[in-house]
Amino acid sequence: MAQEGILLGMGNPLLDISSVVDDDFLNKYDIKLNNAILAEEKHLPLYDEMASKYNVEYIAGGATQNSIRVAQWMLQIPGATSYIGCIGKDKFGEEMKKNSKLAGVNVHYYEDESASTGTCAVCVVGGERSLVANLSAANCYKSEHLKKPENWALVEKAKYFYIAGFFLTVSPDSIQLVAEHAAANNKVFMMNLSAPFICEFFKDALEKVLPYMDYIFGNETEARTFSKVQGWETDDVEEIALKLSQWPKASEIRKRTAVITQGADPVVVAQDGKLKKFPVIVLPKDKLVDTNGAGDAFVGGFLSQLVQEKPIEECVRAGCYTSHVIIQRSGCTYPEKPEFN
């Protein structure tokens, strides 16, 4: 059984503004499907345009928060998971707090007085999604909040840590504090490549924390971008997964595991020089609602079994189950109870 506070996530809490859009909208704002970017000046009008032009849904999101909420849903033990990030003091922030508490996650948000709660436009075309994040308050997280006794207590209590690569753009010093704590106390530290731009433009920050990672997650596009940036001269996902798993480690207590998802193709797991592939649950195209949160949900399912010390096969099976559930619904949402045996 997973105990209270066993899993802690840290990241950018964002309110997803999700809608089915059209190709003209994507082209107008220079958005590519299956990508995730930070909003630039040219993207700022798109949030209002989406809200006025399309039938939008507001869903509590942010990559790490999605994964933590899914893990919490799978575990069904109130407070098994905790989450830290920064929101604004506004109605979206209040909505986020309410959502997270209902989900059973123990949230310790830093509330910024000067910035509004971050938002993420989720633009869906043909079931595929593209994300444009306006971090706003999420970008204001400070390690001083993490160091406060009531928040550091969450770090002390947790045995597993998960942080999406997106948080490298906000508070690398907070990540470093948790990574070093995990290494010193034989705890499990995990991150995600998260997006091609993290691999490209936050290369140094990513490389600094990679030695601390016991598990590294990503999808095939991110893995290939990482390979390209490293000059590995290979597009072979299996080879890249092996190389990621063999990157030098800060603590040799456990070998690193690299887990790469490939949409409808098998999940690749590299561990201790060995490769395993796991087929995903195939979904007929007409059942696909949207892929928003699919990767986050996979990680959430995976973590729900890992914190119970289940074998890697079970972790991947749970990840495939949760992503299968989420892609049949709008956004990273789920039914009341999981049906996972």
Mean pLDDT for 41-45 is 94
Can you give the pLDDT at residue 241?
98
Mean pLDDT for 178-206 is 97
Mean pLDDT for 239-248 is 98
11-20, 71-80, 90-99, range with the lowest pLDDT: 90-99
Asked whether residue 142 is domain-assigned, the answer is yes
Can you give the pLDDT at residue 265?
95
Q: How many domains does the chain have?
A: 1
Q: Which residues of 330-341 are buried (b: 16+ CB within 10 A; e: fewer)?
A: bbbbbeeebeee
Query: Quick check: 333 and 58 in contact, CB under 8 A?
Result: no
Exposed/middle/buried for residue 288 (C-beta within 10 Å: 0-12, 13-18, 19+): middle
Can you give the pLDDT at residue 258?
98
Does residue 22 carry a catalytic annotation? no
- Domain span at residue 252 reads 7-13+62-117+135-327
Asked whether residue 112 is domain-assigned, the answer is yes
Asked whether residue 220 is domain-assigned, the answer is yes
pLDDT confidence bin for 297, thresholds 50/70/90: very high
Q: What is the pLDDT of residues 6-16, one digit of tens each?
A: 999 999 999 98
Mean pLDDT for 172-177 is 98
Asked whether residue 69 is domain-assigned, the answer is yes
Can you give the pLDDT at residue 284?
86
Query: Quick check: 102 and 59 in contact, CB under 8 A?
Result: no
How many angstroms separate the most distant Cα atoms in the chain? 54
Mean pLDDT for 167-185 is 97
Whether the pLDDT of residue 169 is over 90: the answer is: yes
Alpha-carbon distances, residue 70 vs 8, 125, 245, 321 (angstroms): 13, 24, 25, 11
Asked whether residue 44 is domain-assigned, the answer is no
Q: Which residues of 123-135 are buried (b: 16+ CB within 10 A; e: fewer)?
A: bbbebbbbbbbbb
Tell me which of 266 and 291 has the higher pLDDT: 266
**pLDDT above 70 as % of the chain:** 100
Mean pLDDT for 8-35 is 94
pLDDT confidence bin for 1, thresholds 50/70/90: low
Asked whether residue 92 is domain-assigned, the answer is yes
Mean pLDDT for 228-254 is 96
Can you give the pLDDT at residue 236?
98
Can you give the pLDDT at residue 185?
97
Q: What is the pTM of this model?
A: 0.93
**Residue of 16, 112, 214, 296 marked active site:** 296
Whether the pLDDT of residue 249 is over 70: the answer is: yes
Mean pLDDT in the chain? 94
Sheet with 128-134, strands from edge to edge, namely: 36-38, 128-134, 119-125, 14-20, 57-61
Which CATH number goes with the domain that contains 262? 3.40.1190.20
Asked whether residue 222 is domain-assigned, the answer is yes
Asked whether residue 176 is domain-assigned, the answer is yes
